[in-house]
Amino acid sequence: MMHRRKFLQSSVAAGLVYAGTSRYAEPFGDMKFRVGLIGCGWYGTCDLLRLIQVAPVEVVSICDPDKHMLAETSALVAERQASKKHPRHYKDYREMLKERDLDIVIVGSPDHWHALHMIAAVEAGAHVYVQKPISRDVVEGQAMVAAARKHKRVVQVGTQRRSTPHLVDAMERIVKAGKLGTIGHVEICCYYHMRANGNPPVQPVPDHLDYDLWTGPAPLRPYDGLPHRRWWRTFMEYGNGIVGDMCIHMLDMIRWQLGLGWPKRISSHGGIYVQKGGKSNITDTQTATFEYDQFPIVWQHRTWGNPPDPEYPWAGFIYGEKGTLKLSVHRWDFIPTGKTEPTESGTAVIVDKYPEDRTEKDLELHAAEANRAHQRDFLRAIASGGRPVADIEEGHISSASCILANIAMQLGRTLTWDPVKHEVVGDPEANKLLRRPYRSPWVHPEVS
């Protein structure tokens, strides 16, 4: 494996320049990256298909406890990859990783699985692309960073705003150019209607799904069909609500744009104020404040009503003495102080050289090029042995900050964070909540 990896690294260093300019990257001799996917749902499959577009990969293994999802992703892979081969199918990720024959593993499983899947993949010798948020609790995130460093593997987090072309352009033209002046306030938000508000009855688990394995370390809820296929995002058993799902993207985007690390204090309040029917238990309304020495970053989400700015329903707003910068996945606008209309703007880059993008089910077309750029950055880091733009530690800071906001809301008080000791200052009750209990026989990862 080491001989093979050294060959791949030298080959990618020589050949990666083709990735951004040709339909597919040029082949590296007879060698290809051997890739596995854990989690054949929406974004796991999306990430895999974008990687196929930019690198000479062979998808040899895919894993999911749902046989139907395995079959759907397998068909897409066979259609898209050069060999036209179907990958091997696995229900249990441990069996897939036991082969120890993968160079790259994409982790696209639900949030409650990210830590165990990523850590097991780097232990098996693979570099990892893991979706955000990286973890359900803060200690999981610590363990993930430690595992990546211990095994010397590159781990890229799916916070692809850091690779989004129009946002890179905004940072260069406005932030780095100093056009904002002194920054005094930042707002981030999401006003998408994204809670599952149904109340279906308990029902038999379908034969094609291993529900116990799907649940893994999370609490085993009576099966009602809701959490499976994306709606798991609306249950705190599996994730961290909309703050953990959507705030992390915007917080991470702002931290990257402005060069920020850990917030010093975090506070939050919210609840289910409007959408009281249904089983979903994440907040429909929540505000969080991430305090930095220079200024606060204030988050707001509502899953009901209209956004204050219809053009920016999921966005970041950087307020400087000289102007305001609006940032979203679709566009950016800079409005100088004293003006009412933007003087500089940009929009998402959509390219036409990937015709399959136009027909791919559920693909966010505006994000496809950002995803490809993020995959290329991941490969560059593998080639150089360096850190990717969304390194696991950066993903941990953004993920843990959002988790701390939820803990602050739960306890009803502001938390002061010590990033060196990795604990809430003077608050034993809060520190107990940095680790969630695992369902037996699954074992919570430790920092080693």
Rounded to two decimals, what is the model's pTM? 0.93
Query: What's the pLDDT tens digit per position in 425-434?
Result: 999 999 999 9
What is the arithmetic mean of pLDDT over 218-238?
A: 87
Q: What is the pLDDT of residue 448?
A: 81
Q: What is the pLDDT of residue 31?
A: 53
CATH topology for the 163-361+396-432 domain = Dihydrodipicolinate Reductase; domain 2 (3.30.360)
pLDDT for 29 beyond 60: no
Q: What is the pLDDT of residue 351?
A: 87
Report which DSSP code applies to 231.
G
Q: What is the pLDDT of residue 396?
A: 98
Residue length, the chain? 448
Q: Are 143 and 448 in contact (CB under 8 A)?
A: yes
**Closest C-alpha to 254, from 321, 328, 346, 194:** 328
Percent of the chain with pLDDT over 90: 85
pLDDT for 21 beyond 60: no
Query: What's the pLDDT tens digit per position in 120-139?
Result: 999 999 999 999 999 999 99
pLDDT for 3 beyond 60: no
Higher pLDDT, 3 or 265: 265
pLDDT for 86 beyond 60: yes
What is the arithmetic mean of pLDDT over 41-58?
A: 95
Q: What is the pLDDT of residue 382?
A: 94
Q: What is the pLDDT of residue 227?
A: 66
Q: What residues contact residue 29 under an 8 Å CB cut-off, 6+ apart?
A: 11
Domain ranges of the chain: 2-161+364-392, 163-361+396-432
Q: Which two tokens stand for residue 358?
A: 């136009």
Query: What's the pLDDT tens digit per position in 149-202?
Result: 999 999 999 999 999 999 999 999 999 999 999 999 999 999 999 987 788 899
Sheet holding 33-38, edge to edge: 88-90, 57-63, 33-38, 104-107, 127-130, 155-157
Other CB atoms closer than 10 Å to residue 418's CB: what's the count?
12
Query: What's the pLDDT tens digit per position in 384-394?
Result: 999 999 999 99
**Spatial separation of the C-alpha atoms in residues 290 and 250, rounded to whole Å:** 12
**Spatial separation of the C-alpha atoms in residues 123 and 21, rounded to whole Å:** 34
What is the arithmetic mean of pLDDT over 238-265?
A: 98
> Which helix or strand (DSSP H or E) is residue 300 part of?
strand 296-302
- State the residue for tokens 């809670």: 195
Mean pLDDT of the chain: 92
**Among the ranges given (3-17, 233-247, 259-273, 424-438), the one the predictor scored with the smallest mean pLDDT:** 3-17
Q: What are phi and psi of 65, to 5 degrees?
A: -75, 0
Query: What's the pLDDT tens digit per position in 338-366?
Result: 999 999 999 999 988 899 999 998 899 99
**CATH 3.40.50.720 corresponds to the domain 2-161+364-392:** yes
Higher pLDDT, 202 or 14: 202
Q: Work out the pLDDT band at 111, boundaries 50, 70, 90.
A: very high
